[in-house]
Chains A and B, each alone.
Chain A
Amino acid sequence: MATEQELRKPFLDFAGPNGAYYADTFLKIQKNALGRWHINVAAMLGSFVWAALRGSWLLFLISFVIDLIAAVNLALVYKYSKAAADNADKDFLVARYEGWSDSSLIGAIVVFVLGRLAFGWLADRLYARQYERWRVDHSVNSGLRRSRLGLAGLIVLLIVPLMIYRTTQFAPDERTCIKQNRAIAQGEEVGFKDRFDCAVIGEFPTLFWIDRPDKVTFPRDEDGNRIVQREPAREGAPPVNLNTYVSQAIDDSIAYVTVFYGFLFDGITKFLRGMLSAISSVTVGTPWPITMGVLVLMAYKMAGPRVTIFVAASLIYLALFGFWQTAMDTLSLVLAASIICVVIGLPLGIWVGKSQRGHAIMTPILDVMQTIPSFVYLLPAIAFFSIGKPPGILATMIFAMPPMVRLTALGIRQVGESTKEAALAFGANPRQLLTKVELPLALPSIMAGINQVVMMSLSMVVIAALIGAGGMGYVVTEALENTETGRGILAGIGIALLAMMIDRVVQKANKTRR
């Protein structure tokens, strides 16, 4: 058993000055005996100065932000009081500014008092963590060192004045700054304060201006062939910023591709339309009693009686509220998009799962596909394929494909090395390894991928109604345009039921297979 002194030594080594206090506190923390309201008074009063001296930059950040918020609120009090005084002739402005000023003052006091208390409460608890890290790695800051104040002072000096200045001023709007830029370009004198305000405290300044790009059109020549025609911008047209320039370039290239390679997109459109009409002839073209019967029977075969009751009830809901045809329309779209997703996504997933290069290439692409807001897919779809169901399917497909690729790859990669080794040891060739070992073992993951694809397709098909894909989504968008809340809610419930129906059946079928 270590003596009391030996026990306290590491704490003393760590804390340096005032070590006895920290030894007591840390011991209490280790024994779970620290009082619930224990507050480090030095930390509470010293705030970020204390944190800097103790070398805990996390605590420094916390305390600094607390004090900064309080300071900013105080600056706001000053700003609004001044504004109220400046506008003393307009009663409503005075009332508004004084209201804001008062709430800022209260905010400043509350943040300062509660923040300091909270910081004092947090200080020893986090400092103890730092001690534990220091036990492992002695390069972690320890003791109390004045030299750290230099860095802390630098940070405070860099941030505080600008923050306070920003809060006491009304930021200039973008147009004012553009005007000001033009005035400078024409050689007018602009005060330093205005220039500084535009450059630092408003919108990020436009650093460079680009000449307006040529206007590109694609008229037909005498033989009726399309040609590219460039028209320079008119003399003296104002320059544009980077965003305008690049989006113009993207528009031009999309126009170019659709004009000169239109046959490609027409081909894809035709293919999608053909596929969709084949599916719709089953779902929409068949009389409803048959479709409904087949769907219920399928649900029963795949997922058992309980899910079947749910499916039947949902179908009756759709039928009773007059959504039968539109629901079947949506279902066709979902089926078409899901089939394409699986057909393309499965091989891609295998590639990503088996090849390091495939993984490196596809991961960023999939990330982008999944993070771009789904609405954005609609625009290029329209640009290349105009409006209607085929571009709707394409947008849906791009949106719903990533989980198929990812989950297939995951499944393939999860197959144990030893299992693969055994197959190789018995003379499997690469194809046999894939079909007899990897794919069967990845099947649960692949099925989860298909389920995801169907669900995401459904959600995107609804959005694709905006570009004329029709179906349940169309009812919703129409209700949105005419503010028919009731109709919108009914259609929304219908979509939810459709989704739950598919999900339950697919999931249950997966489970029973396993």
Chain B
Amino acid sequence: MSDMNKEGVVVTRNVWKIFGDRAEEAMEAVRREKLSKAEVLERYEAVVGVKDVSISVGEGEVFCIMGLSGSGKSTLVRHINRLIEPTGGEILINGVNVGELNAEELRILRADKIGMVFQNMALLPHRTVRDNVAFALELRNVDAFTRAQHAERVIELVHLEGYGDRLPSELSGGMQQRVGLARAMAADPDILLMDEPFSALDPLIRRGLQDEFLELSKTMKKTTLFITHDLDEAIRMGSRIAIMKDGEIVQTGTPEEIVTKPADDYVADFVAGISKLKLVFAHTVMQPVEAYETGGRTLPPIDACPTAGPEDNLDVLVSLAVDQENPIVIVDDDKPVGVVTKDSLLHGIKGEV
């Protein structure tokens, strides 16, 4: 992904957000003198919400932004549909600079291109599920019949058939968030912004919705920015993860990169408790056959060894290694490319690769 020949669908370039009456002054001072957050607060009574963030999200990718509360992740995502104006930098959607749109163009962008899901659902309590789902279409003055048909289709997608005429208050939290998801997808946007969509739900329901969303996102191929404060969730959902701290992105990478090569102690602390079984793959822990044999050992005949592919994760390798004397041979295109011993497997599980 890193060197794409075309730019991402959603790109932010050096986005800054400073809150306060003297944000502009503070911004200039920051550019000039490279002030720290504390200095900005002291001198300008302004709070740095987002600090020089540049990300690029490719088409169909689920990009997770993970950080604790107050890290600026929700603020960042609200820049993308300009619910919040950046103090500095620019946001491009399909190459169009969002900051240069006029009010009408911005509304069209929000209604057609971007769907958003909120942590607290933010459904309209006086409208039925169907009318809530059709809200974005209604704002675009789509006629009632077409609206209802669209809505019904999306309601089926999120498995809420038969609930179209209910009010949100009659639904459970998980179901309400499905309505939120359906509402975001009703206008068939290219981009989904998900602001901690599952954080307020209990773990079992959260798990179910995560799976459903993964399923949906595989078929719908929507470019998604997924905000979460839960690293487990980020790892489950994201094809890439950006970790934010104090308004800054401290590391961006695939789940495996984050887990195996944390950029600093902060990330390492987070990753420490995460199970690596599903995140680390054979090609990372294996050693070439020659290296294995220079250690004075000889590889048993391949027929006697368990074999696996380079893209198999540790979970698979562990199952193979159980009750087995011989090392695992990693086979690619019918050729052995590497060896995984029990030692290297254990190191892999500990994240030491």
The binding surface of chain B is classed by DSSP as mixed
A434 interface residue (CB < 8 Å to B)? no
The interface residues of chain B lying within 8 Å CB-to-CB of A443 are 126
Question: Is B122's CB under 8 angstroms from A421's CB?
Answer: yes
A358 interface residue (CB < 8 Å to B)? no
Question: Is B138's CB under 8 angstroms from A421's CB?
Answer: no
How far, in angstroms, from A426 to B117 measured CA to CA in the complex?
Answer: 10
Contact residues, B86-133 vs A (CB, 8 A): 103, 107-112, 114-116, 118, 120, 122-126
A437 interface residue (CB < 8 Å to B)? yes
B136 interface residue (CB < 8 Å to A)? yes
Question: Is B139's CB under 8 angstroms from A419's CB?
Answer: no
How far, in angstroms, from A416 to B120 measured CA to CA in the complex?
Answer: 11
Question: Is B139's CB under 8 angstroms from A426's CB?
Answer: yes
How far, in angstroms, from A426 to B132 measured CA to CA in the complex?
Answer: 11
Q: How large is the interface on A (under 10, 10 to 19, 20 to 34, 35 or more residues)?
A: 10 to 19
The binding surface of chain A is classed by DSSP as helix
We find that the number of chain B residues with CB closer than 8 angstroms to chain A is: 27
The interface residues of chain A lying within 8 Å CB-to-CB of B81 are 425
For B131, give the chain A residue with the smallest CB separation: A436
How far, in angstroms, from A124 to B22 measured CA to CA in the complex?
Answer: 51
How far, in angstroms, from A428 to B104 measured CA to CA in the complex?
Answer: 10
For A432, give the chain B residue with the smallest CB separation: B139
Contact residues, A418-444 vs B (CB, 8 A): 418-419, 421-429, 432, 436-437, 440-441, 443
For A417, give the chain B residue with the smallest CB separation: B122
How far, in angstroms, from A371 to B107 measured CA to CA in the complex?
Answer: 45
CB distance from A509 to the nearest CB of B (A): 16
Question: Is B122's CB under 8 angstroms from A426's CB?
Answer: no
Question: Is A425's CB under 8 angstroms from B139's CB?
Answer: no
The interface residues of chain A lying within 8 Å CB-to-CB of B115 are 426
Question: Is B110's CB under 8 angstroms from A419's CB?
Answer: no
The interface residues of chain A lying within 8 Å CB-to-CB of B112 are 427
Question: Is B111's CB under 8 angstroms from A427's CB?
Answer: yes
Question: Is B116's CB under 8 angstroms from A437's CB?
Answer: no
With A418-B118, A418-B122 already in contact, the answer to whether A425 and B108 are too (CB < 8 A) is no
B281 interface residue (CB < 8 Å to A)? no
How far, in angstroms, from A423 to B103 measured CA to CA in the complex?
Answer: 15
B135 interface residue (CB < 8 Å to A)? yes
B83 interface residue (CB < 8 Å to A)? yes
How far, in angstroms, from A419 to B122 measured CA to CA in the complex?
Answer: 5
Question: Is B120's CB under 8 angstroms from A425's CB?
Answer: no
For A514, give the chain B residue with the smallest CB separation: B126
Question: Is A425's CB under 8 angstroms from B114's CB?
Answer: yes
Question: Is B110's CB under 8 angstroms from A440's CB?
Answer: no
B221 interface residue (CB < 8 Å to A)? no
Contact residues, A357-397 vs B (CB, 8 A): none
CB distance from A451 to the nearest CB of B (A): 19
List A residues at the B interface (Cβ < 8 Å). Answer: 416, 418-419, 421-429, 432, 436-437, 440-441, 443
Give the 4 A-B CB pairs with smallest separation, nearest first.
A427-B111, A422-B122, A427-B110, A426-B136
Other CB < 8 Å A-B pairs besides A425-B114, A425-B193, 12 of them?
Answer: A416-B122, A418-B120, A421-B122, A422-B122, A426-B136, A426-B183, A426-B187, A429-B107, A436-B135, A436-B138, A436-B139, A441-B126
